[in-house]
Structure 1
């Protein structure tokens, strides 16, 4: 649905030239929720703004559907943007207009008939849970309600793609979860392709099918969300995950005669007795140093840091692997 080929974007100022995007290649499949994560200054927001050409690349090509966005003239680009909705961190609502008028705004720009606008606005406000707030102004709404208005407005013209630029970073955790639940619902019910920019790793884990990790204007790692989170390959990815998901017990070296292992369970094995059964079968002693159970895009997983000694440790590792447990030496 979205393809970036060698996209480069540079910014020039009195202080010199800065490369925000450095030859980025990226593909987003139709109907998936794709996360882009990275620290401040990594190039995330610039990347998402190149998709609808709010930022025009200095080099490279951008495709949305079958259309090359970078090859369109001004009129063609305006038409193409109607199929791409966008929601923002700070809502960008018109304070002097009501909730209904904010949602109607893009439809009125298209000169849609008044009756069609009223029906579409009512439909969208009902979908985002704001049917009873149509006549209120943004100042009368909570942060989560404002973002729901922003989502309804982004959906007004019936887009195929929804771009979310840090849409939850100004919200509290409970409201963030509600907005992510709404985005997940829209993806499943409408088949929307969603590109979600964030620095919050929990956001990616909650709703994204795949994820790309950015650093210094480049994509340094990408793949299925579960694979990237549970088996990160790049130092930037490991560092970001460790800040929120750190497994304790790594400060000291493992005692002589013991093996320290990270065990990753996915799906049905998460709740199974694999570790205790293997310990009995191989005679190893296992000390659990830390662990957690959670979900990535609805799939359960568990990770444990264990210390293993005695018995047949090699056989224990082999049998855990046979049972679908990923085993990594630490």
Structure 2
């Protein structure tokens, strides 16, 4: 659905040149929720704005649904952008306009008939739980409600792509959950391709099918969200995932023990695989750390265990044969 080929973007100032994107190649499948994560200054916002050409690359090409966005003239670009909705971190609503008028704004820019505009706006307000707020102004709404208005406005022209630039960063955790559930619902019901820029790894874990990690304008790691989260390869990804988690204390390891990090996915997350293997190999084990959660709805479990006694090698082999990913120290 979206393809970037060698996209480069430079910014020049009195202080010198800064490369925001450095030859980025990226493909995003139709109907995917694709996350792009990275530290501040990694190039995330420049990347997402290159997709609808709010930022024009200095080199490279951008395609959306096989149309080369980077080759369009201004009139063609305006038409193409109707298929690409965008929501922002700070909502970007017109404070002097009502909620109804904010959602209607892109439709009126297109010159749609008044009756068609009213029907479409009312449909969107109803879908997004805003039907009773149409006559209010943005200042009368909560942050989560404002973001829902931003989403409704982005959907007004019936886009096939929705770009989300730090769409939950200004929201509290409970409201973030609400907006993520809404985006997930819209993806499933409307088949929207969603590109989600964020520095919050939890956001990616909740809703993204695929993820790319940016550093200094380059993609340093990319793949299915579960693979990247459970088996991160690049130090930047590892560091971002480690933030907010309690560091493992190696001093609690029993003397002479063999450490192993176990990863369970899907139905195996709830199976007593470790106990079965312990019985058959005679090993004792201590669970030193662990968690069970979900990635895009798929359950997973990760734990660090210390094996003592028995046949630790056989235990590792049996766990691996049962589909458990095992990393030993």
Shorter-chain TM band: over 0.9
Q: Which residue in 1 is equivalent to 2:43?
A: 43
For 1:322 and 1:210, the matched residues in 2 are separated by: 27
When residues 253 and 215 of structure 1 are mapped into structure 2, their CA distance, relative to the original with a 3 A threshold, is farther
Can you list the C-alpha shifts for 1:241-265, whole angstroms capped at 9, x where unaligned?
Answer: 0113445234x39555211111000
Q: Which residue in 1 is equivalent to 2:189?
A: 189
Q: Which residue in 2 is equivalent to 1:311?
A: 310
1:169 aligns with 2:176: no
Q: Which residue in 1 is equivalent to 2:133?
A: 133
Q: Which residue in 1 is equivalent to 2:286?
A: 287
For 1:155 and 1:21, the matched residues in 2 are separated by: 28
Q: Which residue in 1 is equivalent to 2:3?
A: 3
Q: Which residue in 2 is equivalent to 1:260?
A: 259
1:273 aligns with 2:269: no
Offset at 1:303?
A: 0.4
Mapped contact 1:249–1:290 kept (Cα < 8 A): no
1:214 aligns with 2:199: no
Mapped contact 2:269–2:300 kept (Cα < 8 A): yes
Mapped contact 2:252–2:288 kept (Cα < 8 A): no
Mapped contact 1:247–1:290 kept (Cα < 8 A): no
Larger mean Cα displacement after TM superposition, 151-160 or 254-263: 254-263
For 1:247 and 1:68, the matched residues in 2 are separated by: 46
For 1:28 and 1:75, the matched residues in 2 are separated by: 25
Can you list the C-alpha shifts for 1:99-140, whole angstroms capped at 9, x where unaligned?
Answer: 000000000000000000000000000111100100000000
For 1:34 and 1:222, the matched residues in 2 are separated by: 10
Can you list the C-alpha shifts for 1:151-208, whole angstroms capped at 9, x where unaligned?
Answer: 0000000000000000000000000000000000000000000000000000000000
For 2:284 and 2:247, the matched residues in 1 are separated by: 20
Mapped contact 1:7–1:59 kept (Cα < 8 A): yes
Mapped contact 2:254–2:306 kept (Cα < 8 A): no
1:55 aligns with 2:86: no
Q: Which residue in 2 is equivalent to 1:201?
A: 201
Offset at 1:323?
A: 1.0
For 1:275 and 1:263, the matched residues in 2 are separated by: 9
Q: Which residue in 1 is equivalent to 2:235?
A: 235
Mapped contact 1:2–1:65 kept (Cα < 8 A): yes
Question: TM (normalized to structure 2)?
Answer: 0.98
SS in 1 for 2:25: strand
Can you list the C-alpha shifts for 1:7-34, whole angstroms capped at 9, x where unaligned?
Answer: 0000000100000000100000000100
Mapped contact 1:163–1:194 kept (Cα < 8 A): yes
SS in 2 for 1:244: coil
Mapped contact 1:247–1:305 kept (Cα < 8 A): no
When residues 253 and 7 of structure 1 are mapped into structure 2, their CA distance, relative to the original with a 3 A threshold, is farther
Can you list the C-alpha shifts for 1:270-326, whole angstroms capped at 9, x where unaligned?
Answer: 011000110111011101001100000000000001111111011000100111110
Gaps of 5+ in 1: none
Mapped contact 1:99–1:136 kept (Cα < 8 A): yes
For 2:143 and 2:232, the matched residues in 1 are separated by: 33
Q: Which residue in 2 is equivalent to 1:94?
A: 94
